Structure 1
Amino acid sequence: MTATERALPVKTIVGYALGSLGTGGFATLPGLVLVFYLTDTLGVTALLAGVLVTAAKIWDVLIDPVIGARSDRALARHGSRRGFMRAGALLLPVFFVLTFAVPAGLEPAASGLWVLVAFMLTATAFSLFQVPYIALPAELADGYDQRTRLLTWRVVVLTAAILLFGAGGPMLRRLGGENEYLGYLIMAVVAGVVIGGGMLLASRVAPRGVGAHAAASGGHPGGGIREHYKAGLAVLRRSQSFRALLLTFMLQGLATGVMLAGANYVAVWVLHSEAALELLFVALIAPALFCAPLWGVIARRVGKERGFVLASVLFGVAALSLTAMLWAPGAWVYLPVALAGAGYAGMQSLPMAMLPDVISHDAAEHGDGQAGTFSGVWTAGETTGMALGATALTLMLAATGYIESVGATAVEQSDAAVMGIVLSFSALPAALIAVSLLSLRRYTLRKSDIDRKVLV
């Protein structure tokens, strides 16, 4: 840490980390169960399910840059992004419950339309919170190591939330017994309240009153939606490191998104046990929970970018080894999943700690801090990656002949469909991780660049 870095109060670190109880829950539960809910409860075809989920995510991508730019304006005018965050926290639980409240007996097409509209509203509420939330580290911490510390503990809570929702969500769903519609509704009510509560607590960390950061935001975009998109394109054009980091994170979001969406299918059709879904999540997230602080230590020793490479390689190799499920599915899969979880912790904490470095470096170079604009573009990219993960899975399912079902109706899947599920959970994510490492090579910022700006 440089001599001029201010140590963050524990209260700030804890408060900010609690927001990941909400972001982790929302990123995990819909990604885990929404496609499965559409195909195996509502009877929507795999291809149409992919189209519906992707359409909702496209909407999310379109609004993120606008929300980011407007949160910059709110910061400049009122000294806080808190209003956006609170609105998202209060609205999300309502729309989340509606997403999983489709009445039994609706035709698949009508059910799909219900989910599309409700999930678009949910995604809008989430963006109102998520975009300013991601912008906060550049305003809360002013140094390379303090941002690593802040984001490391955020990822500890994030991984705990993924474990809680990934394992607890399906358990809550089973409380409905044979009534799958009731089970999903119970799950949505409990999860929605917890997600909204975590977001509401984190909103209290957002600075209030016009301070140094708010005053420095004189370059925020004004005008309408067109100007907001122009501002987003401008930060992409002028920051090579941002482009490289964003593309890397998008590709890795695509890799983790396809695995997340495929986990339910692996549990049911490859491991032949619905309970295996919780075990997969425990195997994935328990190591991540303990390894997130370790990646912070590694980053201080070798740099965030080198630590990021190591974490990505570990995840990719572990994912690739899971292709052996084609010939010998069994309990052994939990070991490589655990190794992937260890890598996943670094793949989350390190790029999120690198993003505020990019933002602060850009502000020092151009004198017009636009943290909200950066975070809006970042969230749009992250959403794109995760959305395309679900799309890639549904395309694979459709191509290999996956059969959808309504309610508890029993069906049999072909060997080709099972193969598609396995490859979506193993070889495809590994290939995406390999490509992401090529884009990461273009990230040029180092600790010395950030420390030099802090000293200035």
Structure 2
Amino acid sequence: MTVTPVSVRPGLGRGTRIGYAAGSLVPGAFGTVPGLLLLPYLTDTLAVAAGLAGLLVLLPKAWDVLLNPVAGRISDRTTSRWGPRRPYLLVGGLGTAVTFAALFAGPLDGAAGAVYVTIAFLATATAFAFFQVPFVAMPAEITAGSADPYRERTRLMTWRIAVLALAILASGAAAPAIRDAAGGGLAGYRVAGVAIAVLIAAGALASFWGTRRAPVGTVHESEPSLRRQLAVARGNRPFALLLACFVVQAVGIGAMLAGTDYVAAGPLGDAGATSLLFVCFVGPALVVMPLWERVGARIGKRAGYLAGSVLFGVGALLVALGLLVGLVPVLLATALVGVGYAGQQVFGLAMLPDTIAADEAVTGRRQAGVFTGLWTGGETLGLALGPGLFGLVLQLGGYRSGVDAAAQPDSARVAIALGFSVLPAVIVLGALPLLRRYDLTPARLAALTTPTHGEP
């Protein structure tokens, strides 16, 4: 079952926007820290071969591709005094916090430690799915009754991406610093895991409380099976095109994220630069977020998405050149990547509820859980494929697990540099042709609400 607001009202209040956006602490931390630290934790602390470590990072998140649509269907069918989505913000969010703390708390190393990490990561990914899918489903529902839902979704996503950027900055910069301050090794990773778990719990509680005044609406029946959900998604061409582009680009983002620790310790020769790279990646995004909203109002969401993607790709290519010079050029180029990443996220997540609204205009049924379940599953897979692909690049480059960065062969250092820069740029830019046929403009979306509309 799904939710359809039944009356037109002014835009969402600032408290609701902030409350909803606070939930981005959960995906911000979960999406950042494992991608940043889990691969080096496996290769350098547990001495797992790079190729196998990349596979271990991939498998639990690949599970979400199957699980997320199921989580969406379950939340669609949920009835409670808190609505169909909010209970999962609380239960799924706190479950993610507990299992995340356990992820880096394993008492074992070597092969046994790798097995433990895989099981714990699988549990964390499962809990996260039941937070993330309802969380992403909410914007289409709570803005549908607004006077200008098209603009309202961009406003809501601007708040959300601003908090997401803060979460990435806080977790991505703090986790390596906390690990190192706690002495590194197993003990350092355990302390960092607990600290990030506290941040995740705070986001879950804040989003649950902050959305208490968000519209709920009327419950309707949704698609009964995964097969039917996939059929619905295939019939929504704007959604299918947007999802394909977003997922492919997530692979590039995940690869760049996974390479940060390796680039800092290897080509840059400064392990402490990991936190600096994160600050340069996320800090500019906090400044340019309002500018991206203005860009969207002026040239449209699709054009804004393309512009952000181009900036990301150009910045990543400049990183490759910067690695030949030194730390400062790399940091500047990384800041440009961060500006582009902010645009990608704002417009991608603002376009998603438009595709959901278009489907409702055609079918008469709001099936937010169906689409967001597939969306979050695909995004999770893309972000997991990134570290897996980076691990494969390390393996091909002859990376030696459990060995100090200074002792790595030159081929491994080249693999690290290319995997962190050229590879993400090629993937992100190569996905853009997928948006060529995306045509869900404000005028077309408005036309779909008339009695003579066609398919989205």
TM-score (ref. length: structure 2):
0.92
Q: In the alignment, does 2:129 pair up with 1:134?
A: no
Deviates most, 112-121 or 444-453: 444-453
Cα deviations across residues 107-160 of structure 1 (Å, max 9, x unaligned)?
A: 511110000000100111111100000000001112100000000110001001
Q: Cα–Cα, structure 1 residues 176 and 452, in superposed 2: closer, same or farther, change >3 Å?
A: same
Q: In structure 2, how many angstroms separate the alpha carbons of the residues matched to 1:280 and 1:250?
A: 24
Alignment counterpart, residue 181 of structure 2, candidates 160, 175, 180: 175
Does structure 2 conserve the Cα–Cα contact (< 8 Å) formed by 1:403 and 1:411?
no
Residue number in structure 1 paired with 2:84: 80
Cα deviations across residues 301-327 of structure 1 (Å, max 9, x unaligned)?
A: 110000111111111011112222563
- Deviation of the 1:176 alpha carbon: 1.7
Alignment counterpart, residue 121 of structure 1, candidates 120, 123, 134: 123
Aligned length: 440
SS of aligned partner of 1:271:
coil
Does structure 2 conserve the Cα–Cα contact (< 8 Å) formed by 1:80 and 1:210?
no
SS of aligned partner of 2:266:
helix
Residue number in structure 2 paired with 1:339: 336
Residue number in structure 1 paired with 2:400: 403
- Deviation of the 1:410 alpha carbon: 7.0
Counterparts of 1:21-170 in structure 2, within 5 Å, are: 21-75=25-79, 79-103=83-107, 106-142=108-144, 143-170=149-176
Does structure 2 conserve the Cα–Cα contact (< 8 Å) formed by 1:75 and 1:210?
no
Does structure 2 conserve the Cα–Cα contact (< 8 Å) formed by 1:176 and 1:186?
yes
Does structure 2 conserve the Cα–Cα contact (< 8 Å) formed by 1:81 and 1:206?
no
Residue number in structure 1 paired with 2:22: 18
Q: In the alignment, does 2:295 pair up with 1:298?
A: yes
Q: In the alignment, does 2:319 pair up with 1:322?
A: yes
Q: In structure 1, how many angstroms separate the alpha carbons of the residues matched to 2:196 and 2:66?
A: 26
Where in structure 2 are there 5+ consecutive unaligned residues?
A: 1-7, 452-456
- Deviation of the 1:454 alpha carbon: 6.3
Does structure 1 conserve the Cα–Cα contact (< 8 Å) formed by 2:93 and 2:201?
yes
- Deviation of the 1:235 alpha carbon: 2.2
Cα deviations across residues 378-421 of structure 1 (Å, max 9, x unaligned)?
A: 00110111011011100000001001117xx6761111111111
Q: In structure 2, how many angstroms separate the alpha carbons of the residues matched to 1:329 and 1:184?
A: 28
- Deviation of the 1:294 alpha carbon: 1.0
Counterparts of 1:228-239 in structure 2, within 5 Å, are: 229-239=226-236
Q: Cα–Cα, structure 1 residues 39 and 367, in superposed 2: closer, same or farther, change >3 Å?
A: same
Does structure 1 conserve the Cα–Cα contact (< 8 Å) formed by 2:161 and 2:345?
yes
Q: In structure 2, how many angstroms separate the alpha carbons of the residues matched to 1:304 and 1:14?
A: 22
Q: Cα–Cα, structure 1 residues 245 and 12, in superposed 2: closer, same or farther, change >3 Å?
A: same
Does structure 1 conserve the Cα–Cα contact (< 8 Å) formed by 2:77 and 2:84?
no
Residue number in structure 1 paired with 2:203: 198
Q: In structure 1, how many angstroms separate the alpha carbons of the residues matched to 2:227 and 2:42?
A: 36
Does structure 2 conserve the Cα–Cα contact (< 8 Å) formed by 1:5 and 1:146?
no
- Counterpart residue type for residue 412 of structure 1: A
- Deviation of the 1:92 alpha carbon: 1.4
Does structure 1 conserve the Cα–Cα contact (< 8 Å) formed by 2:133 and 2:369?
yes
- Deviation of the 1:200 alpha carbon: 2.0
TM-score (ref. length: structure 1):
0.92
Q: In structure 2, how many angstroms separate the alpha carbons of the residues matched to 1:45 and 1:69?
A: 38
Q: In structure 2, how many angstroms separate the alpha carbons of the residues matched to 1:431 and 1:14?
A: 35
Residue number in structure 2 paired with 1:437: 432
- Deviation of the 1:59 alpha carbon: 1.2
Where in structure 1 are there 5+ consecutive unaligned residues?
A: none
Does structure 1 conserve the Cα–Cα contact (< 8 Å) formed by 2:319 and 2:329?
no
- Aligned-residue sequence identity (percent) comes to 44
Deviates most, 418-427 or 83-92: 83-92
- Deviation of the 1:253 alpha carbon: 0.6
- Deviation of the 1:60 alpha carbon: 1.6
Deviates most, 159-168 or 86-95: 86-95
Does structure 1 conserve the Cα–Cα contact (< 8 Å) formed by 2:141 and 2:216?
no
- Deviation of the 1:366 alpha carbon: 0.5
Does structure 2 conserve the Cα–Cα contact (< 8 Å) formed by 1:254 and 1:388?
yes
Does structure 1 conserve the Cα–Cα contact (< 8 Å) formed by 2:265 and 2:405?
no
Q: Cα–Cα, structure 1 residues 75 and 310, in superposed 2: closer, same or farther, change >3 Å?
A: farther
Cα deviations across residues 64-105 of structure 1 (Å, max 9, x unaligned)?
A: 0100111111159984222222111221122111110122xx
Residue number in structure 1 paired with 2:223: 221
Q: In structure 1, how many angstroms separate the alpha carbons of the residues matched to 2:260 and 2:111?
A: 25
- Deviation of the 1:7 alpha carbon: 1.3
SS of aligned partner of 1:97:
helix
SS of aligned partner of 1:74:
coil
- Deviation of the 1:57 alpha carbon: 1.1
Does structure 1 conserve the Cα–Cα contact (< 8 Å) formed by 2:223 and 2:229?
no
Q: In structure 2, how many angstroms separate the alpha carbons of the residues matched to 1:255 and 1:316?
A: 10
Does structure 2 conserve the Cα–Cα contact (< 8 Å) formed by 1:76 and 1:210?
no
Does structure 1 conserve the Cα–Cα contact (< 8 Å) formed by 2:266 and 2:406?
no
